[in-house]
Amino acid sequence: MTPTETDLRAQTHAERERLAALLGDLTEQQWDSPSLCDGWRVREVVAHITMPFRTSAPRFVAGLAAARFSFDRYADRVARRDGARMTTTELRDALRDNIRHPWQPPGGGPAAALSHDVIHGLDITEALDLPPAPASRIATVLAHSRPRALAYFGVDLTGLELRATDAEFRLGTGDVVELPVKDILMTVTGRRPVPDRGTAARLADRE
């Protein structure tokens, strides 16, 4: 059954609650640990996740203009600035107090809001060896990912089919590689290397 918009929002709220609870137990050393986002510590990732909750539309437009309308440049500047100036309590509360915030990426809808939180949640939990989002939630993110969104990460899956071992999901065509669904999401978003095609071929030959 395809999740409705209400279902997607409920999953987003659940993911924010899950992350807020995990953040509440982190040490200062963990907050300052590197995440899977290149150049960002855990605190910069949390600053980025919560940036939409804390930024008005006029401030966003002004900041984007100052970054020469490069969203990546703007997001990096804001994450580094807010990660440095905000305390861990302020960062945690910015997420905890906005569990039900209605923000959605422009043009992305509720599926994109869920994707944003799940992907960046993995940037934290994988780096700190903490529990990931439920496999079914990650599979929902992948199932709703548009080709254009995946193309943004520039990952070449030519000749491969990534098949989840813990959820109903598969992506691509070619030699089959079976992975946990979280590893598929991290692969297609550039957080994990693409499986070696020789390994994929050997796995396919065993079937």
Q: State pLDDT tens for residues 8-43.
A: 999 999 999 999 999 999 999 999 999 999 999 999
Residue 188 in domain: yes
User: Is 107 in the same domain as 20?
Assistant: yes
User: Is 98 in the same domain as 9?
Assistant: yes
- Can you tell me the mean pLDDT for 126-135? 97
pLDDT of residue 31: 98
- Can you tell me the mean pLDDT for 59-77? 93
CA distance 171 to 97: 36
Residue 138 in domain: no
pLDDT of residue 2: 60
Residue 123 in domain: yes
User: Is 54 in the same domain as 14?
Assistant: yes
User: Is 98 in the same domain as 157?
Assistant: no
The domain in which residue 182 lies consists of 151-206
CA distance 199 to 176: 10
- Can you tell me the mean pLDDT for 44-73? 94
CA distance 105 to 82: 20
CA distance 40 to 123: 10
- Can you tell me the mean pLDDT for 182-198? 88
% pLDDT > 90, the chain: 82
User: Is 126 in the same domain as 200?
Assistant: no
206 pLDDT higher than 60: no
Residue with more model confidence, 145 or 137? 137
User: Is 105 in the same domain as 182?
Assistant: no
pLDDT of residue 171: 92
Residue 144 in domain: no
Residue 128 in domain: yes
User: Is 116 in the same domain as 160?
Assistant: no
CA distance 181 to 174: 18
User: Is 110 in the same domain as 156?
Assistant: no
Confidence band of 94 (pLDDT split at 50, 70, 90): very high
Alpha helix ranges (H) inside the chain: 5-24, 28-31, 42-54, 57-66, 71-85, 88-96, 109-128, 135-143, 147-151, 181-188, 197-206
Residue 32 exposed, middle or buried by CB count within 10 Å (0-12, 13-18, 19+): middle
pLDDT of residue 108: 85
Residue 146 in domain: no
pLDDT in tens, 155-172: 888 899 999 999 999 999
110: domain CATH number is 1.20.120
User: Is 127 in the same domain as 159?
Assistant: no
User: Is 39 in the same domain as 75?
Assistant: yes
CA distance 6 to 139: 17
Q: Which amino acid is at 193?
A: P
User: Is 124 in the same domain as 160?
Assistant: no
Residues 6+ apart with CB under 8 A from 200: 159, 160, 174, 175, 176, 177
Residues paired with 179 in a beta bridge: 164
Q: What's the pTM value of the predicted model, to 2 decimals?
A: 0.90
129 pLDDT higher than 80: yes
User: Is 38 in the same domain as 119?
Assistant: yes
Average pLDDT of the chain is: 91
Total count of domains within the chain: 2
Residue 141 in domain: no
Range with the poorest average pLDDT among 93-97, 105-109, 169-173:
105-109
